[in-house]
Amino acid sequence: MLQKFCKWLLFDHLGWKEEYTIERRDKCIIAVAPHTSNWDFLLGECYYAALGRRARFLMKREWFFWPLGCVLKRMGGIPVDRKRHTSLTDHLAELAQSEPHFELAITPEGTRRRKEEWKLGFYFIALKAKLPIQLIGIDYAGKRIVATKEVWPTGNVESDIKEIKQYFSQFEGKAKHPENFAVNA
């Protein structure tokens, strides 16, 4: 029921299109960019529900207040306390290895504001768990959700991140708020 409704809403009613040419995997890290608005989250959740899939996501701990926190956790939300420096990447990599299905969506920018340097947690989770990183771009201008590249981390962080940023550079100027997205590949 939810899947059918989300398909109708996103593709038929709102006119979004999907360009997905990579293999759909049961275990992967999903890097989503640009992330410049709270609408990105709603769009992503609707999109994944339309596919009949569920991905976990990281969100700052402050959003997990009652009763919203219960809903977010049920949707796959994982609260992150930005003030505490814990080994979240180690924990998530272990979780990914131990579960038969693990899709984790992360926005490399880490915030909706313009960031010249991206956070690398998504990369290190994928590297430690030996998972591919599927790159999903949001093109508000063309109403497209684009996933045409997958990167297997090699351990050469600089080179791999450069490749990832080059992929996402095609979405500059196409974010919900284009002034808040920077690639600097």
Whole-number mean pLDDT of the chain? 90
* Domain at 2-180, CATH homologous superfamily: Glycerol-3-phosphate (1)-acyltransferase (3.40.1130.10)
Structure confidence by residue, pLDDT tens digits, 20-41: 999 999 999 999 999 889 899 8
**According to the model, what pLDDT value does residue 111 have?**
65
Return d(Cα 31, Cα 29) in angstroms, integer.
Answer: 6
Please report which confidence band the pLDDT of residue 112 belongs to, taking 50, 70 and 90 as the band edges: low
**Residue-range domain boundaries for the chain:** 2-180
Tokens 């990447």: give the residue: 89
Is the confidence at residue 185, as pLDDT, over 60? no
pTM of the complete model: 0.89
- In sequence order, what are the beta bridge partners of 11? none
Yes or no: say if 56 and 104 are a contact pair by the CB < 8 Å rule. yes
**According to the model, what pLDDT value does residue 36 have?**
87
Q: Is 148 helix (H, G, I), strand (E, B) or coil?
A: strand
